[in-house]
Amino acid sequence: MVEVSTSILSMKEKEEIKTIMGLETAKTDYFHIDVMDGKFVEKNTYEKMIEYSSYIKRISNLPLDVHLMVKDIKKAIYDFTALEPNIITFHYEACKNKEEVLEIIDLIKDNHCRVGIAVKPDTKIEEIYEILPYVHMCLIMTVEPGKGGQTLITDMLEKIKKLKTYVKEKQLEIDIEVDGGINLNTAERVKNVGANILVAGTAILKAVDYKTIIEELKK
Ligand code: DX5
Ligand code: ZN
């Protein structure tokens, strides 16, 4: 079944608590926490995402879906496991080699957290096949990481389909999450090719009624 993970990157200042409570009432499945360090991507949301995650932990039981867009992954794992996320996803491109990827996977698991691997649009999906047996989720970026409100890169549909085919062939139990430019126009297309967790920020936060848009995205 399809789940929705709402990115809180673009929450309006001073309306954070109201937004979080509205999203909880609207039954988002996850809060998507976009952690950016100003090095792996230009923006720096690091401290703000720690603050937002602590608000969520205080007022909601819904799970945190942490998306690390950082160079120093180990530091971010240390900082964010304190907030007891449901899953921590890091970027394949932030690792030097396969050994480091496997080391990071083990570190996240040692912190009692599920693991996701994220790939940027230009990374070939075949590059991460060999590590899929060790993760719970693969996050396919459908925009260049770094900011919200971008348009979905349609070439990514083929990439999602390729991953879904491989996962089915190998009988792997992993979620396929897509992130960037997901809205009522693009949701159908990414679901049709195999995505089962949809990240949406702008499409949900700008909606008048969070519940309706979340239900529509899941249909
Ligand atoms: C971009 C982030 C995405 C983004 C999604 O680097 O990883 O999660 O905030 O925002 P929308 O849904 O507005 O494209
Ligand atoms: Zn994200």
Over 90: is that where the pLDDT of 1 sits?
no
Q: pLDDT by residue (tens digit) across 13-62?
A: 999 999 999 999 999 999 999 999 999 999 999 999 999 999 999 999 99
Helix (H, G, I), strand (E, B) or coil at 90: strand
- Domain-wise residue ranges, the chain: 3-218
Q: What is the mean pLDDT of residues 191-217?
A: 98
Q: What is the mean pLDDT of residues 165-174?
A: 98
Q: Measured between alpha carbons, how far is 219 from 214 in angstroms, rounded to an integer?
A: 9
Nearest CA to ligand 1 atom 4: 148
Q: Measured between alpha carbons, how far is 69 from 76 in angstroms, rounded to an integer?
A: 10
What is the position in ligand 1's atom list of the atom closest to the CA of 182?
12
Q: pLDDT by residue (tens digit) across 140-151?
A: 999 999 999 999
Q: Which residues have a catalytic role annotated? A: 34, 179
| Ligand 2 centroid, distance to 165 Cα (angstroms) | 23
Tokens of 37: 């360090």
**Residues measured by CB to lie within 5 Å of ligand 2, the ion:** 34, 67, 179
For residue 80, give the nearest of 71, 94, 68, 92 by alpha carbon.
68
| Ligand 2 centroid, distance to 66 Cα (angstroms) | 8
Nearest CA to ligand 1 atom 3: 180
Cβ atoms of 35 and 76 within 8 Å: the answer is yes
Q: Measured between alpha carbons, how far is 177 from 142 in angstroms, rounded to an integer?
A: 10
Helix (H, G, I), strand (E, B) or coil at 217: helix
Ligand 1 pocket residue status of 121, Cβ below 6 Å: no
CATH for the stretch 3-218: 3.20.20.70
DSSP 8-state class, residue 11? P
Q: pLDDT by residue (tens digit) across 75-134?
A: 999 999 999 999 999 999 999 999 999 999 999 999 999 999 999 999 999 999 999 999
Output the pTM of the full model. Answer: 0.98
